[in-house]
Chain A
Amino acid sequence: MEDNGEGMLSPYRVLDLTDEKGLLCGKLLGDMGADVIKVEPPRGSPARNMGPFYHDEPDWRKSLVWFAQNTSKRGITLDIETVDGQELFRQLVRTSDFVVESFAPGYMDRLGLGYADLENVNPGVIMISITPFGQTGPHRDFKGPEIVSWAMCGFMSGRGDADRPPVMVTHHPQTYLHAGVEGAVGAMLALYDRWTTGEGQHVDVSIQESGGRGTAPVGWALTRVRMPRGIGQAGTAGLRTTYTWPCKDGYILFFYATGAQGVRVSRPLVEWMEEEGMSDEFLSGIDWATFDLRQATQDTVDRMTETTRRFFMSHTKAELFEGAVKRRILLYPVNTAADILDSPQLAARDFWREIEHPELGVTITYPGPFANASGTPLRLSRRAPLIGEHNAEIYCGELGLSREELVILKQAGVI
C-alpha cells in the first residue's frame, strides 16, 4: 500500500465555471488530485452569497457553503462575456481536460464557447453541463431553484406530516449535490471513452434526473396505488408506522421488522424492554418469525408503538445507541451536527481534516474526502480559493501574460 503523493486524477486539469448548481463536481475531482481551477466573474461568484456565514458575517469571503464545496480548487476571475475573456478562456481550454459549467442551456453556445466550439480548440476536452432539466426537452428553460428540483425529482413527495405541506431539507441545497456527483461520474465515463476514441464529448447532466434516479416509481408502475401521506415506510400496506421516535434528549430511528429480519432485529429490542420491565404481554407475546407486520391491523401497530414509545422516552440517545450496538439492534440516533462531530466511529477512521484559513487566522475542521483509496489517498489539498487568488499564478505563470497586461485586464473588467 504505497502513497507517493499521487492522486487518482493528478494528470488532469478542470476548468470549473459552475455556480452552486455544480460546485461539488469540481471539488470531488480536485479531492482526487486533479488540478481544478475555479473560474469566477470578476466580482466573485453569486454562490458566495449563500449562508450560513463564518461568525454570521455575511461577506463574500465567508460563505460556509462556498468553503464546503470548493476545497482543492485554485481560483481565477474571468468575464467570459468579453471578447478578451473568451480568448483567454480558449487558451486555458487548450491545456484542460474538463470544463464544468452550470449556465442556462444555450448560454455557452451564444458566447462561442459551447462544446462544438471548444472541441475545435481542444478535441480531447470533455464538457460537463449541469442544469435543472438538462440541455433538451420541454422544460429545459424552466427555472430550477432547489425547491423546484426537490419537488419535480420525486424527493419531496410524501414527506412529512399529512396535515402540513410536503417538506424538504432547506439548510443548504441537496439536489445540486446529487447532480454534482453524477457530473463527476459522467466526466469519468467520458474520460474512459477518450482512451478508446481519442476524443472528448459533451456530458449533459440533469439535476431533476439525478434526484429522480433514486426515486424510480417502481411501486406505482406495478401497483398503480397512490400511497397516502403520513404513513410509515417499508411497504407496510398503508399502515401508520413510526420511524423517528422521541427519547429523553432527542430522537432515534428504529422500525420494527418481521420475518427473518424480525427475529434478528425486533426480538433483541423486546428482550431489552423485558429486562427493564417495560414490555407488555402483547409485545412479548409476538412470535417475530411468523408475525407479518404488513398483514397487521392499525390497532396492533398502535399498541406496539405505544409500549415502545414509553421505553424509548425513558432513555437518552446515547444509552439507546449503546444498547443497540451491544445487542445488535438496528437502532440509530437522529444525529445533530454536534453528535456527528462527537462520533467515535468517524474519529477512529481519521475522518476529519484540519484545513488552514490564513486569511481568517484559524484552522477549521472539515469533513474528509468521500473515499478511502489505498493506493492514491484522497486529500483536501487546500481551502476554497479567494476571489482571483491565483490570477497571477495562472495568467502570468502559465499563460505567460505580463504583470502590465494583468493590470490592464483588471481595469477593463476582463478579470
Chain B
Amino acid sequence: MKRKLLEGVKIADFCWVWVGPMTTKTLADQGAQVLRIESKTRPGVWRVSPPFKDNVVGFNRGGVFNVINTGKMSVTLNLSHPKGIEIAKRFVAWADVVTENFAGGTMKRMGLGYEDIKKVKPDIIMLSAAMMGQSGPHMNMPGFGAHLTAISGFSHVCGWPDREPADLGHYTDFIAPRYNALAILAALDYRRRTGKGQYLDMAQVEGCMNFMAPVVLDYVVNDRVPGRMGNYHPAAAPHGAYCCRGMDRWCVIGVFTDQEWLSFCEVIGNPEWTADPRFGTLSGRKDNEEELNRLVQEWTVKHTPEEVMERMQAAGVAAGVVQGGEELFDHDPHLRYREFYPEIEHPEMGRYFTVAPPYKLSKAPHELRRAPLMGEHNEYAFKEILGLSDEEIAELVVEGVVE
C-alpha cells in the first residue's frame, strides 16, 4: 500500500455539484480523510443525474459522481433537523478543514458559519467557495459554471467576430477547484507553523479574474473592450483548426517560425501554392489568412487528424488532434502511458475509470480509491469518529436525523 501524503488530514465536506467535490477530490486522492455529509432526501445533483451505469438510475451509479468523489467517505445526515446540525458540529470538532460551496450565506443560515464553527474548533480551516463570495449585493445569487463563465468575461471573448459568443460550457468549473485546493494546502502549512486556522472566503468569480487579467488590463490601460477572435493568433500562420478525414474530426496546426513554415510545406509535399510569394512571410500569410486556411484544409481533409499530428510533430511543427471523449479515453496513447484514467473496482459500477491528478510527485505516488456508496461510512463515522452507541444511533435514525 502506498504512503498517503496527506495522511492524518481530516475534512468535513459539505460540498456539492462540481467545484466543491473536485476540490476535495484533490485532497482525498493524496490520502486525506474526506467525510462527505450527504442526504438521501436531498441528494446532491450528481447522485441523481445521468449518465448512469447501464442507464439504470441509482445513488451509486452516477458516472460523474463516481469520477469526482474518489477516495472519500459518505455519511447521510439530515441537516434540516436541528439535531443534524449538532451532529455536523461534532464532525467539525473531529476535522482539520471544513469545505462547502453553497450560495453565499447558506452555511451561516444553517448555523454552520465560520463564527459558529470556530466556537467548536478554534483552529479550524474553513473554505467557502460560493460563486460570488460571502459578501456583496449579489452574494446570495446561485449559479452554475456556465453562468460564472459568462459573468467572468470568458464567453464574450470566445467565438467568431461575426457571430454570437460561443458556448464555453461550464469552463469556470475547471478553474475554481484548483484555487480552492491551493488555498487549503497553503493554510494547512500556515497552521502547521503557527497553530492558527482561518476562514478562506473564496469567491469563484475572483479567482477567475486572474485568468482574465490581460483582458481586464487591456481595457484599463488601452480603453479597449476585447472581442471574439476565432482561432486567430497575431504571430502565427497557419494557426487554426482544420477539418480532417472522418466525421467531425479536426486537427489544430500552429506555425510560428520561418523554419516551421518550411517544414510545414515539406510535410504537405511542397505544393505549388506554397511557393507563392504572398505566403512566404508571416505578414503575407496573415494578410491572406482566409485563403491560406482554405488551402491548408484542402490537404488536411485527405488525412486523419492523427496522421496530421504525427507527421507535423515529427517535422517539428506544432499540431494536435482536437480530442473529445472518444479520443481522450480510447485513443490518446500518451494519456494511456501516463495512466491518466486509472480504473478502479466499485460494487455497483463494476470497473470504472476516474481521472488522476495532472501532476506526478516523484516521492509520493498517488493511489486512487473508489467513490463511496451513499451513507457507506455511517457506522464508522457515528461509532468510531463520534463514539455513539448503537442505541444512540438507532434513536437518531428513528428521529430522521440519520438517514
Contact = CB atoms under 8 A, between A and B. Distances in A.
A373 B187 contact: yes
Contact of A365 (B5, B53, B220): B220
A166 B242 CA distance: 9
A69 B217 CA distance: 11
A337 B160 contact: no
Interface string B321-344: 111111111101111011011000
Contacts of A412: none
26 contacts: A52-B224, A137-B334, A151-B241, A151-B251, A160-B160, A167-B241, A168-B231, A169-B168, A171-B214, A172-B214, A174-B211, A188-B186, A192-B6, A205-B359, A216-B341, A217-B328, A220-B324, A253-B147, A333-B150, A333-B151, A336-B225, A341-B219, A366-B216, A370-B202, A375-B196, A376-B190
Interface stretch (A82-90, A243-251, A386-394): A243-251
B35 interface: no
B150 A252 contact: yes
A367 interface: yes
Nearest to A11: B193
A229 interface: yes
A214 B250 contact: no
Given A169-B158, A210-B358, A220-B326, A325 B212 contact: no
A127 to B, nearest CB: 9
Interface majority SS (helix, strand, loop, mixed), chain B:
mixed
B361 to A, nearest CB: 6
Interface of B: 5-6, 26, 30, 49-53, 63-64, 67-68, 114, 132-133, 135-139, 141-144, 146-160, 163-171, 173-175, 178-179, 181-183, 185-190, 192-193, 196-203, 205-207, 209-222, 224-226, 229-236, 239-243, 247-248, 250-252, 254, 256, 313, 316-330, 332-335, 337-338, 340-341, 352-364
A330 interface: yes
A67 to B, nearest CB: 6
Nearest to B18: A214
| Chain A interface, DSSP helix/strand/loop, else mixed | mixed
Nearest to B354: A216
Given A142-B318, A143-B318, A144-B318, 12 more contacts: A139-B333, A151-B241, A181-B175, A185-B178, A189-B185, A192-B189, A195-B192, A204-B362, A220-B324, A222-B52, A349-B206, A371-B202
Contacts of B362: 115, 201-204
B174 A214 contact: yes
A74 B382 CA distance: 51
B220 to A, nearest CB: 5
Q: Which 9 A-B pairs have the closest CB atoms?
A: A220-B325, A214-B174, A217-B325, A375-B198, A209-B358, A188-B185, A68-B213, A337-B219, A253-B150
Contact of B168 (A67, A159, A337): A159
